[in-house]
């Protein structure tokens, strides 16, 4: 029997709970600080999944990252199955998302790379997913998120 412990700060689970729906679930994780001198794939194998293979990557602006993540948090899902009372929770969802972005040092980033997994994705993305390699303060943070049914 394997027992998994969620070692993330409580507000990760709070955000995921706010976005839960009848047939919709969000997963968000942050890994770091990690060694900036490792290749992205080495950092992923060390912290996320030993099977991780990067399918591709591209440099993105911090503002694009913030916008894409906020947009993902407000994805409505399938009618009647997506997040419940999404607009009523808007303020709390944005505050928790911003807290996670602060933990990821997005505003301090010298470089941000969006990437995707060819193999070894730690979640089961169905509706959307994101993966960012954030370099700040001589370290790196890997911010991942996805939604599934």
pLDDT at 3: 45
pLDDT for 100-116, tens place per residue? 999 999 999 999 999 99
Query: Cα torsion for 109, 113, 27, 108, to the nearest 10°?
Result: 0
Give 74's DSSP letter: T
Query: Which tens digits make up the pLDDT trace of 27-74?
Result: 999 999 999 999 999 999 999 999 999 999 999 999 999 999 999 999
Beta strands in 1-138 (DSSP E): 25-35, 53-59, 111-119, 128-136
pTM: 0.93
Please identify, in words, the CATH class of the domain defined by 10-148.
Answer: alpha beta
Kindly report whether the peptide bond that precedes residue 145 is cis, defined as omega within 30 degrees of 0: no
Q: Are 131 and 29 in contact (CB under 8 A)?
A: no
Q: Where are the domains of the chain?
A: 10-148
């Amino acid at each position: 029997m394997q027992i998994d412990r969620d070692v993330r700060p409580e507000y990760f689970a709070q955000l995921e709970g706010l976005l839960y729906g009848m047939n919709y679930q969000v997963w968000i994780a942050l890994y770091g600080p990690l060694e900036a001198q490792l290749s992205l794939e080495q950092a992923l194998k060390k912290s996320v999944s030993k099977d991780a293979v990067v399918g591709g990557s591209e440099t993105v602006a911090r503002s694009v990252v913030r916008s894409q993540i906020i947009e993902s948090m407000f994805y409505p899902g399938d009618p009647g199955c997506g997040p419940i009372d999404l607009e009523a929770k808007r303020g709390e969802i944005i505050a928790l998302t911003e807290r996670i972005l602060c933990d990821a040092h997005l505003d301090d980033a010298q470089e941000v790379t969006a990437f995707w997994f060819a193999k070894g994705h730690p979640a089961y993305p169905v509706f959307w997913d994101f993966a960012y390699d954030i370099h700040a303060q001589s370290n790196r943070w890997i911010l991942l998120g996805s939604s599934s049914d």
